[in-house]
Amino acid sequence: MRRALVLVVVAACGGGSNSPPDAAVDAVADSFTSTESPTATAFLTMDKVSVDFGTVAVGQSADVSFVLTNTGGLTSGAPTITTTDPAFTIISPACGELAAAETCNIVVELAPASVGPTSGFLEVSASPGGTVDAELTGTGSGVAMLAITPSPEDFGVACIGSASAAHTFTVTNNGTDISGAITSAIIGSDADSFGLVSSTCVTLAPLASCQVTVTFESLTVGAKAASLQVGATPGGTASATLLGTGVAPGELSITSATPFQSTPVFELSAAQTITVSHGGACGPTTGPLSIALGGNDPAQFEIVTDTCSGVALQPDAECTISVAFAPTVEGLATANLTVDGIPGGVASTGLSGTGLPNAILSITPEHDFGEIPPNTTSAPVPITVTNIGALTTGPLSQALAGPNSTQWELISSTCDGVSLAAGASCDVVLEFAPTIINANDQADLVVSGAPGGTVSAVLVGNGFDEVPLSSGGTSFLNFADTVVGQVSAPLTVTATNLNGFTTGTLHTDVIGTDPTQFTVVTNTCDGSVLAPQAQCTITFAFAPTTDSPATKSATLDLTAPNGGFDVALAGKAVAP
């Protein structure tokens, strides 16, 4: 509700009336009869009837204060204060009841959410007190806001006096209004090591972009840093960090290693990649590079990968070396990684790490169980596992592994599931129990704990029998004289397993002077395994292809894992 007071003034005109002007006004005034004096109630007024907030940028705000006064003679009710447009908000505390002539400050804030004009009313009402309002107007304007990418930007290494390739930076107006004229400058302690090459920036509409290009040209050796700064009004300022390293022509440079994470002894840390660069953009290719670990504790560090050794780096080229910390003793360890090239010079970086206490399992690496006939067992052999570290191991586990692991039997163990204290030991007791004849039985006993690591012992044994395979007394096959191009009558060798044990896999071969002159007709031995008293046969024929010389000879070689025999073959070739 808005209140208005209309004052009607009636003036006498012409001489058509003899009444004086004051009498006319009195007559009009008398026609308005007041039923209540203002002093007989509460009556609210404000010191402003309208306010223009002017232009306010979107995302920013402006505020105006109003003075609310009770000009009546009685105390007002507590005023209700509102605005009719959400762009205008009340930011002052609420006003309470106002005594006669008492005042209260009302602060209104304009925070435009969009570009363009906005308007509304500040409305105040109380009972008693009435209603009073003020018109509110203002205009939302856009904001220019510059940003630059990338940052930081590393130009790498460059020879003193030689400029790097130009790097491009993108300037973007992330605001809602066009920017002012954009300026670009390089500032900072090493500003003279960087140079502006070009700029496409003039002014930028909202969300538009432009580019600035910069080069690195160091005048001295060492790391350099500066900033590329762009600015506009409106638009503000934005900057990108510039980095680069100046090197002398033809010299190698290497990135600095950081201290390795503390690592338990006999474990391997995460690898750290170190880059070797040839800053010889204005110099020759390096000689073949050599790398070396030196210093106090080189054995405590391990080169994991290496793309540098033997490589001749072209100008501006680089290679990498990956290094890990592999402590074998507790405490701080230091070393140096050095790269050398002639020409090129020498570059090195320090390495450091701290070895921590650990649980460390130890085991005798090999146990020979000797020669044992199949289907019998050896004497039990205890294999001792010791924690030589400073911490207690995790629960231990054990396993037999390898292609012949079934030839051993686990008799007992004081290790399985046990956590070994520092200096403590446990035993795994094994027997060798071969089931076949085999001169090369081998397996592994593997024991693991976390912490503690994994250790293994090689198990060696020989399943044997002293009685060889028998050829039934046949040691020589003499074939009848045979015409070249024809085939003789066949002759057969029978192999018998006279042992009380199954053989290993048999293998046959024909060797000697004339192996191709004898043909294998049938062969049930090669690749077979003979049970006790079982037999197999090999049948040959003489099939000469030439009579020069006439007498032909060869040898049947039959082998098994623990024995075998040879049979001589002979025949005479006759000319057709």
Instruction: Kindly list the strands in the beta sheet with 408-413, ordered across the sheet, starting from the edge strand earlier in the chain.
Output: 361-363, 381-387, 425-432, 408-413
Both 237 and 310 in one domain: the answer is: no
Q: Are residues 200 and 225 in the same domain?
A: yes
Q: DSSP letters along 249-290, please?
A: TT-EEEPPPPPPPPEETTS-PPPEEEEEEE--TTSPPPPPPE
Tell me, yes or no, whether 368 lies in a domain.
yes
Please compute the mean of the pLDDT values over residues 22-40 and round it to a whole number.
42
Regarding whether 186 and 108 lie in a shared domain, the answer is: no
* Residue 13's pLDDT band (cuts 50, 70, 90): very low
Residue 7 has pLDDT above 60, yes or no: no
Among 141, 174, 194, give the residue marking a domain's end. 141
State whether 47 and 133 are in the same domain: yes
Residue 379 in domain: yes
Between 34 and 269, where is the model more confident?
269
Segment 38-66 mean pLDDT:
89
Contact of 461 with 432, CB cutoff 8 Å: yes
Q: What pLDDT band is residue 373 in, cutting at 50, 70 and 90?
A: confident
Report the number of distinct structural domains present in the chain: 5
Whether the pLDDT of residue 463 is over 70: the answer is yes
Shared-domain flag, residues 170 and 105: no
Residue 251 pLDDT > 80, yes or no?
A: no
Computed over every residue of the chain, the mean pLDDT equals: 87
Answer yes or no: is pLDDT of 396 > 80. Answer: yes
Same domain assignment for residues 487 and 457: no
- Residue 35 pLDDT: 40
Confidence of residue 25 (pLDDT cuts 50, 70, 90): very low
Does 5 fall in a domain?
no
Which pLDDT value is given to residue 58? 81
Q: Which residue has the tokens 């209700």?
A: 80
Q: Is the pLDDT higher at 389 or at 121?
A: 121
The answer to whether residues 210 and 200 touch, using CB atoms and an 8 Å cutoff, is yes
For residue 234, is the peptide bond before it cis, meaning its omega torsion is within 30 degrees of 0? yes
Q: Is the pLDDT of residue 479 over 50?
A: yes
Express as a percent the part of the chain with pLDDT over 90: 68
| 212 touches 151 (CB < 8 A) | no
| Domain extent for 74 | 39-141
Residue 167 — pLDDT band, cuts 50, 70, 90? Answer: very high
484 Cβ contact partners less than 8 Å away, ≥ 6 residues apart? 544, 545, 546, 547, 573, 574, 575, 576
16 falls within a domain: no
Rounded average pLDDT over 244-249: 80
Please check the confidence at residue 6 and state whether its pLDDT lies above 80. no
Residues 74, 167: one domain?
A: no
Q: In this predicted model, which residue has the larger pLDDT, 217 or 426? A: 426
CA distances from 209 to 54, 143, 152, 204, 574 (A): 30, 16, 19, 7, 100
pLDDT for the residue numbered 100? 93
The answer to whether 123 touches 135, Cβ cutoff 8 Å, is no
Structure tokens at 335: 């070393």
Q: What is the pLDDT of residue 280?
A: 57
* pLDDT, tens digit (0-9, with 9 covering 90-100), for 136-146: 999 988 788 99
**Cα dihedral 542, 543, 549, 550 in deg (nearest 10):** 60
Three-state DSSP at 27 gives: helix
Structural domain ending residue among the three candidates 312, 327, 356: 356
Q: Which residues, in sequence order, are bridge partners of residue 464?
A: none
Task: For residues 211 and 302, state if they share a domain.
Answer: no
Residues in contact with 414: Cβ distance below 8 Å, sequence separation at least 6, in sequence order: 426, 427, 428
Q: If you count DSSP H runs as helices and E runs as strands, how many of each does the chain have, helices first?
A: 1, 40
Q: Give the tens place of pLDDT for each residue, 297-344.
A: 999 999 999 999 999 988 878 999 999 999 999 999 999 999 998 877
Look at residue 8 in the predicted model and tell me its pLDDT: 34
Question: Cβ distance 521 to 537 under 8 Å?
Answer: no
Nearest CA-CA partner of 494 in 522, 517, 519, 466: 522
**Dihedral sign, Cα of residue 189, residue 194, residue 195, residue 198:** negative
- pLDDT given for residue 52 in this prediction: 96
Question: Is residue 140 within 8 Å of residue 97, measured between CB atoms?
Answer: no
**What gap in Å lies between CA 302 and CA 269, rounded to an integer?**
10
Q: pLDDT at residue 466 above 70?
A: no
Question: Domain for residue 469, yes or no?
Answer: no
* pLDDT at residue 143, rounded to an integer: 83
Do the beta carbons of residue 385 and residue 455 sit within 8 Å? yes
Q: Are 514 and 568 in contact (CB under 8 A)?
A: no
Amino acid 508: pLDDT = 95
How much is the pLDDT for 16? 36
**Model pLDDT, residue 494:** 96
Task: Report pLDDT for 221.
Answer: 85
Residues forming a β-bridge with 140: 56, 116
Cis peptide before 327 (omega within 30 of 0): no
Q: Residue 379 belongs to a domain with what CATH number? A: 2.60.40.2310
Q: Between residues 258 and 24, which one has the greater pLDDT?
A: 258
Q: b/e string for 75-108 if b means 16 or more Cβ within 10 A? A: ebbebebebeeebbebeeeebebbeeeeebebeb
pTM of the model: 0.37
Residues 67 and 130 grouped into a single domain: yes
Half-sphere exposure of 316 (CA within 13 A, CB side): 11
| End residue of a domain, out of 88, 115, 141 | 141
In a domain, 24, yes or no: no
Report the CATH number that the domain containing residue 59 is assigned in CATH. Answer: 2.60.40.10
Give tens-digit pLDDT for 397-431: 999 999 889 989 999 999 999 999 999 999 999 99
| Residue 290 shares a structural domain with residue 239 | no
Taking only Cα atoms into account, the Rg of the chain, rounded to an integer number of angstroms, comes to 52
- Whether 26 is in a domain gets the answer no
Look at residue 324 in the predicted model and tell me its pLDDT. Answer: 97
Is it true that the peptide bond before 152 is cis, omega within 30 degrees of 0?
A: yes
Across 136-164, average pLDDT: 88
Mean pLDDT of 161-171: 90
The DSSP result for 501-555, as a single string, is S---B-EEEEESS-GGGEEEEEESSTT-BPPTT-EEEEEEEE--S--SSSEEEEE
Query: Do 121 and 155 share a structural domain?
Result: no
Cβ atoms of residues 144 and 236 within 8 Å = yes
Q: How far is CA 236 from the centre of its chain?
A: 37
Task: Tell me the pLDDT band of 444, cut-offs 50, 70 and 90.
Answer: very high
| Averaged pLDDT for residues 132-159 | 90
Same domain, 379 and 297: no
98 is a domain residue: yes
> What type of residue is 230?
V
Closest CA to 215 of 294, 143, 153: 153
